[in-house]
Amino acid sequence: MSEEEIILEVEGLTSSYRGTFGVVTAVEDFTLKIYKGDVVAIAGESGSGKSTFAEIITGTPKPMLHHDAGRVSVEGYDIYTGKGPAGPGSYAQTPRGLVRMTEILVIFYLLYLVTFNRPLFFIFTGIGLIGFLVRYWYVKRENEKNEGKEDLSVRIDPEILRNEVKTKIMSYVPQASLDSLNPVLKLIDFIENVVEERTGGTFDGVIPGVTATAGNLSRNERKQGLIKFAGDHFERVGLDREVLFKYPHELSGGMKQRAVIAISTMWNPKLLIVDEPTSALDVSSQKKIVKMLYEMKQAGIIETILFVSHDVSTLSQICNKMLIMYSGQIQEYGDMEDIVKEPLHPYSKLLMDSIVSFDPSGKNKKRLESIDGAPPNLKDPPKGCRFYDRCPEAMDHCKTQEPPVYNLIEKDRLVKCWLYEEEAKL
């Protein structure tokens, strides 16, 4: 695939939780590329780092979770350094140089008023104007050089990065997202707060005809425009408009989860990250969530999905790629069907063997296997392979040497295991 098709690129990503308990490295040296149009399943045991990985790539981790190293790039925008393609929102095209020079000139003018030193005023004003002209020339050159190109030397305005990239290009539905709804607000009032925050109060692109400010509209006109915008979107994703006028406690768990997903996709994000959206729901509600995501993907409302779940059978219904995680590291990545039918990593094999599978007659096809032991303590992880103590195929050097992630080109698979060292050389 070409570089233009990459939606998410993670390189050397490491993150940890820090507190009175010490330092726990939850994601370590993670490198991966996700391509546009993929629906990627992220699976693994509890504590394997799935939710941490999903949260850290959004660029808005919780206070105890820290980004330690590595790069996270979404559509060419580096989430943590604030660098990205030259274009609207970059420092090279926002009038920050003009603002800075204006501030300097105001200061010198105040100095003039205080000191009445006319020569000094003109000297500093001249210096300020020269600086502005130099800045203007630099900006013009950088824009011409970087037009249409990804230039990671150009910084993006933090507000543009937050409002345009982190909430519109990608969107995140966290674990326990049902609690994110305000219990004392109807959904439409909650959505109004969300829209106001994401558009900076302009309602740009939400209410027809409003492109700069909603200040000239009455509150009723603004609310009616918002109801139409949200109602149309809710209907597109299979929800009734009436849901907008209900409080969270009036909705079932499944309906609340669908409403949260609908709110998260109101700007048609290119990348949607959903963390355990079907957990704590009954089977029929799980089916509705999966169907909703599938239909949104087919309708072009969302382009690429990262789907975190323990339930491999649910993941297999919608995902075309699968990422297996263990102890904060990637273990295997490839086509969903290939990993389910023919897993390569010993951990992947045991994970697939622990899934209940029945044939049409209602009989279990094979004996269920459990994975003996427990994951290592990530406050003091082992030097070698982290699955060594539980692996049925472990070799002596696995205990002391950590395996690299091998790219098995013929099988289109990434595997972190010494068993494939020779195959990777072919």
Q: Is the pLDDT of residue 3 over 60?
A: no
Q: How far apart are CA 40 and CA 50, in angstroms?
A: 12
Q: Is the pLDDT of residue 319 over 70?
A: yes
pTM more than 0.85 = no
419: three-class secondary structure by DSSP: helix
- Edge-first strand listing for the sheet containing 77-78: 22-35, 6-19, 65-74, 77-78
Using only the alpha carbons of the chain, give its radius of gyration: 26
| Percentage of residues in the chain having pLDDT higher than 90 | 50
Q: Tens digits of per-residue pLDDT, 285-309?
A: 888 999 999 999 999 999 999 999 9
> pLDDT band for position 94 (50/70/90)?
very low
Which residue is it, tokens 């992880």?
Answer: 381
Q: Is the pLDDT of residue 88 over 50?
A: no
More confident residue, 232 or 93: 232
Give mean pLDDT, residues 45-55: 93
Q: How far apart are CA 397 and CA 395, in angstroms?
A: 6
Residue 82 has a pLDDT of 79
Q: What is the mean pLDDT of the chain?
A: 83
